Chains A and B, each alone.
Chain A
Amino acid sequence: MNKRIGYFVLILLFISGILAFAGGEKEAGKEGPVKVRFVIPGNPEQDADIVQAEINRRLMEDGQNLELKLVYIPWDVWDQKTNLMLATGQEFELMQVMEDRHGFADYAAKSAVVSIDEYIDKYGTALKRVIPEPVWNAVRVDGKITAIPAYRQSAATDRYYWTIRKDLLKENNLAIPTTPAELLNAAEIIKKNWKGDGELYIPIRSNTDAFFFLHRSYDSFPFTVFQKLIRIDQDGKVSLWVESEEFKKDCEFFREAYNRGLIHQDILGQPNDWALNQLMSARFAFVPQCPLNLWPKMKKNNSDMKMDDIVTVRFNPEKPAFSFNLFGNDNVIPSTTSHPEAGVKYLNWVYSSQENYDLHFYGIEGRHWEKAPNHRRISILDPDTGKSNYRFREWMAGNVEYLRYEESAHPRFVELFSKTPEDTEYSLTIGFNFDAASVQAEYTSCLNEYNSSMVPIVLGLVDYEENFPIALKRLKAAGIDKVVEEYKRQFNDWLATK
């Protein structure tokens, strides 16, 4: 090949390539209200445009000089498209963040988002009112507020609860279990005497988080478990979770459950929506946490079920509630916008009155929803499709102050999720974000190894005594001790600054 021409062409194309990517896209400034492009996952409902028009009309009336534009991105391509938009400098003012995917801290580390303390101070009176100080502290990176949390449910929520079918208990003359052992006995009896379709397995997913519902029954409660690997006690002690006695007890519980036929053999190979389908048919004896948000669907599939038939309880109710997770979603201001205050101003407007909140989340009153007693609402469904024609998902940006539950929502569900018990104790880790960058190879290896060798033990598919030593050895080989050390170091440093 003609080398000279080759090199020349190569250099040419490198230059042109670099020039092509050097700059980002910036729109020319326009007159008129500042656009608030709110990037959210999902697909627009039929009336999305109509509601946005109404929101903008109201914004005008209130002299806000803002214009909302919801930008919907299908789930399948959420990560790719948002990365693309941020990397190519596309302007938008507000973005939804799901903490169980990539957290705000992650975006901040890559300079994808800006800190907003000054805007909160200047424009966020409503925000400050409806979001308490501890929650604001949980969204700080290097001391600066980096996200607006969706504080939509009680600080304690349902991780430490479990739910059981009381009607099936009654059928078998059983009382509500108060200890893990009693729970297993009850579940086994219920399963054996079940006359309906299918089997009554515990509807859990294989990638479930640690089984918090059991932890209340341990003497050492409360303690925090991070990413199924690291345990943090309230006195600041950091250790490897899987090496603890409590982990062993969790595994033994599920091994017992498996031996009594309560765990689906193919739990590892099941399609992802199996557990959900079981819950919607109310086909379970008991299940960790509280699925009562699915109550309307459960009722639809089992018309003679009553609200009292499903109860959510916790072990050792005399112990205080414990919270280590204050919110699961938040909204951030991307660094690509030329109006960083716009997103803050908009959310502040939404939170400044019940009417604004209602409009943004539920749509136009009378057309998409109606008020119901007890601060609830009734969704008006489209007669043709049976679906709602507008719905801004509450979990993205909801707030406890204004939240309206569906009229048909189960009262226990509403109670659990909206009231923070007075005696709630908070985890020491709230506000701390672990940066795995320096131990990344080990961290991902460990999570991988956990998936490979620990999950079968955790789900009770194999025996603890036989398999744990090998699994632990493999975890150590993957570098878990290094990860725990790093976590400990970062955590202690952070504690020292508090």
Chain B
Amino acid sequence: MEMKTDLKKLPNLKNVGKGSLIKDVVRNPMSYLLVLPAVLYTFIFGYLTIPYMVIAFQKFNFRTGILNSKWIGFKNFEFFFKSTSAATVTWNTLRLNFLFILFTTIFSVSLAILLNEIKNKWFVKITQSTFLFPHFISWVVASYIIYTLFSYNYGIVNKILVYFSIEPVSWYMTPKPWTSILVGMKVWQATGMSVVIYLAAITGIDGSMYEAATIDGANRWHQIRFITIPLIMPTVAILTLLSIGKIMYGDFGMIYAIIGDNGILYPKADVIDTYVFRALRLSGDPAQAMAVGLFQSAVGFVLVYVTNRIVKKKFSEGALF
């Protein structure tokens, strides 16, 4: 199959020498022309902003620009790393994001596969549209809905519990279940978009493969297991790698809207971004914000780089770069 031959054809980048970039351009002028607009845009709006990140190491002063501000090394990082909460929020960020990636992937891949199996076009169209609805509901609005579910006295969840003679729970004062609640909310919100992506990938699978498999006697389940799933693994890999890049960035919008200032839930739900936001509400120092951001970016990037190398060795189709 395609994948195996590719592995051998893959050029070993270590052997690429001096001037090979120019050779490449000369050999593939049209391709480089095609990629030029994207490169320009990325250079301008991406790379040109990066020098500004040096303020993470400077004492921030509105008057002096980045050329004239005082350099203070890693001092801007202290407010975060010296605090007693740093470990908790970092762990929460990692843990929650990991679970978000895991469960969103499981749900969206499963749903995409299931949807693909359905013959009734209208059913597919309608349900697939509904999957997208949650994406449009802002977290602020979603937090009201969550409150309607988990409020102590009138919440739907407690009403159900009482109906089954179970003791109602004061949800907003109990940290433990919130990991699950947040994961559930994230799956609710993010699955729709991923289903779109996975469905597109499934649609792209060569239909003749399924035909051949049916001829060979494979049933639907076999076909899913041995054709569909392996062939969308590159997409799963790509999406996962892209998410890993952001794994140190908590979903601020979501957490802040749902948890807000409820300190009881901090041990389980507070993430780096919300903690920093509250910390900087008092001092408003952009350099400190940049310092933590730099930390989050650096760790994310290293994680992706390492993961990507591993993926590349085992399964080159799924590698990001």
Q: How far apart sit A268 and B20, CA to CA, in the bound complex (Å)?
A: 62
User: B278 near A207 (CB under 8 angstroms)?
Assistant: no
B-facing residues in A95-133 (Cβ within 8 Å): 101-102, 106, 110-112
B-facing residues in A170-216 (Cβ within 8 Å): 206-207
**Which residue of chain A is the closest to B77 with respect to CB atoms?**
A441
Does B234 sit at the interface, judged by CB under 8 A?
A: no
A-facing residues in B177-196 (Cβ within 8 Å): none
* Interface-side segment among B217-225, B259-267, B307-315: B259-267
Does A440 sit at the interface, judged by CB under 8 A?
A: yes
User: B173 near A16 (CB under 8 angstroms)?
Assistant: no
**Which residue of chain A is the closest to B265 with respect to CB atoms?**
A268
User: B60 near A110 (CB under 8 angstroms)?
Assistant: yes
Across the interface, which residues of A come within 8 angstroms of B173, CB to CB? 268, 456, 461
Name the distance in Å between A338's Cβ and chain B's nearest Cβ: 13
Name the distance in Å between A334's Cβ and chain B's nearest Cβ: 8
Chain A, interface residues (CB within 8 Å), range? 35 or more
Instruction: Say whether, besides A13-B43, A22-B65, A479-B84, A269 and B150 are in contact (CB < 8 Å).
Output: yes
**Which residue of chain B is the closest to A227 with respect to CB atoms?**
B282
User: B18 near A265 (CB under 8 angstroms)?
Assistant: no
User: B264 near A111 (CB under 8 angstroms)?
Assistant: no
User: B67 near A22 (CB under 8 angstroms)?
Assistant: yes
**Which residue of chain A is the closest to B172 with respect to CB atoms?**
A269
User: A441 near B83 (CB under 8 angstroms)?
Assistant: yes
Does B228 sit at the interface, judged by CB under 8 A?
A: no
User: A265 near B170 (CB under 8 angstroms)?
Assistant: yes
User: A16 near B48 (CB under 8 angstroms)?
Assistant: yes
Instruction: Say whether, besides A17-B48, A24-B65, A442 and B83 are in contact (CB < 8 Å).
Output: yes
User: B264 near A440 (CB under 8 angstroms)?
Assistant: no
User: B151 near A266 (CB under 8 angstroms)?
Assistant: yes
User: A448 near B278 (CB under 8 angstroms)?
Assistant: yes
User: B62 near A86 (CB under 8 angstroms)?
Assistant: yes
Q: How far apart sit A451 and B259, CA to CA, in the bound complex (Å)?
A: 12
User: A21 near B85 (CB under 8 angstroms)?
Assistant: no
Instruction: Say whether, besides A441-B78, A444-B282, A271 and B172 are in contact (CB < 8 Å).
Output: no
User: B65 near A268 (CB under 8 angstroms)?
Assistant: no
Most buried by A among B62, B172, B279: B62
Across the interface, which residues of B come within 8 angstroms of A453, CB to CB? 263
**Which residue of chain B is the closest to A17 with respect to CB atoms?**
B51
**Which residue of chain A is the closest to B285 with respect to CB atoms?**
A110
User: A270 near B147 (CB under 8 angstroms)?
Assistant: yes
B-facing residues in A468-482 (Cβ within 8 Å): 477-479
Residue in B17, B50, B284 whose beta carbon sits within 8 Å of that of A17 in the complex: B50
* Interface-side segment among A1-9, A356-364, A384-392: A1-9
Does A14 sit at the interface, judged by CB under 8 A?
A: yes
Residue in A87, A102, A478 whose beta carbon sits within 8 Å of that of B62 in the complex: A87
Across the interface, which residues of A come within 8 angstroms of B65, CB to CB? 21-24
Q: How far apart sit A456 and B266, CA to CA, in the bound complex (Å)?
A: 13
Q: How far apart sit A5 and B49, CA to CA, in the bound complex (Å)?
A: 20
**Which residue of chain B is the closest to A477 with respect to CB atoms?**
B84
**Which residue of chain A is the closest to B275 with respect to CB atoms?**
A448
Does A437 sit at the interface, judged by CB under 8 A?
A: yes
Q: How far apart sit A244 and B306, CA to CA, in the bound complex (Å)?
A: 53
User: B83 near A21 (CB under 8 angstroms)?
Assistant: no
Over the window 1-41 of chain A, the binary record of Cβ atoms lying under 8 Å from chain B Cβ atoms (1 yes, 0 no) is 11011000000011011101111100000000000000000
Does B131 sit at the interface, judged by CB under 8 A?
A: no
Residue in A13, A20, A440, A477 whose beta carbon sits within 8 Å of that of B283 in the complex: A440
Over the window 280-321 of chain B, the binary record of Cβ atoms lying under 8 Å from chain A Cβ atoms (1 yes, 0 no) is 011111100000000000000000000000000000000000
Does B133 sit at the interface, judged by CB under 8 A?
A: no
User: B20 near A2 (CB under 8 angstroms)?
Assistant: yes
Across the interface, which residues of A come within 8 angstroms of B283, CB to CB? 102, 106, 436-437, 440
User: A455 near B263 (CB under 8 angstroms)?
Assistant: yes
User: B266 near A101 (CB under 8 angstroms)?
Assistant: no
User: A269 near B262 (CB under 8 angstroms)?
Assistant: yes
Over the window 144-170 of chain B, the binary record of Cβ atoms lying under 8 Å from chain A Cβ atoms (1 yes, 0 no) is 100100111100000000000000001
A-facing residues in B39-82 (Cβ within 8 Å): 43, 47-52, 60-67, 78-82
Residue in B79, B147, B267, B282 whose beta carbon sits within 8 Å of that of A271 in the complex: B147
Does A449 sit at the interface, judged by CB under 8 A?
A: yes
Q: How far apart sit A5 and B286, CA to CA, in the bound complex (Å)?
A: 33
User: B266 near A448 (CB under 8 angstroms)?
Assistant: yes
Q: How far apart sit A455 and B171, CA to CA, in the bound complex (Å)?
A: 16
Residue in B21, B172, B266 whose beta carbon sits within 8 Å of that of A2 in the complex: B21
Does B143 sit at the interface, judged by CB under 8 A?
A: yes
Across the interface, which residues of B come within 8 angstroms of A112, CB to CB? 62-63
Across the interface, which residues of B come within 8 angstroms of A137, CB to CB? none
Q: How far apart sit A270 and B262, CA to CA, in the bound complex (Å)?
A: 9
User: B261 near A451 (CB under 8 angstroms)?
Assistant: yes
User: B261 near A17 (CB under 8 angstroms)?
Assistant: no
Name the distance in Å between B204's Cβ and chain A's nearest Cβ: 31
A-facing residues in B1-46 (Cβ within 8 Å): 13, 16-21, 43
Across the interface, which residues of A come within 8 angstroms of B282, CB to CB? 102, 106, 436, 443-444, 447
Most buried by B among A1, A5, A269, A445: A269
Name the distance in Å between B168's Cβ and chain A's nearest Cβ: 10
User: A79 near B147 (CB under 8 angstroms)?
Assistant: no
Residue in B17, B63, B170 whose beta carbon sits within 8 Å of that of A111 in the complex: B63
Instruction: Say whether, besides A83-B284, A266-B172, A440-B283, A17 and B49 are in contact (CB < 8 Å).
Output: yes
Across the interface, which residues of A come within 8 angstroms of B266, CB to CB? 448, 451-452
Name the distance in Å between A332's Cβ and chain B's nearest Cβ: 12
Does A272 sit at the interface, judged by CB under 8 A?
A: yes
Q: How far apart sit A5 and B22, CA to CA, in the bound complex (Å)?
A: 10
9 contacts between A and B (CB under 8 A): A2-B20, A206-B261, A207-B261, A266-B147, A268-B173, A268-B262, A268-B263, A335-B62, A448-B278
**Across the A-B interface, the 10 shortest Cβ-Cβ residue pairs:** A451-B263, A17-B51, A269-B172, A441-B82, A452-B263, A444-B279, A445-B83, A112-B62, A265-B152, A440-B79
Q: Residues of A at under 8 Å CB distance from B?
A: 1-2, 4-5, 13-14, 16-18, 20-24, 79, 83, 86-87, 101-102, 106, 110-112, 206-207, 265-266, 268-272, 335-336, 436-437, 440-445, 447-453, 455-456, 461, 477-479
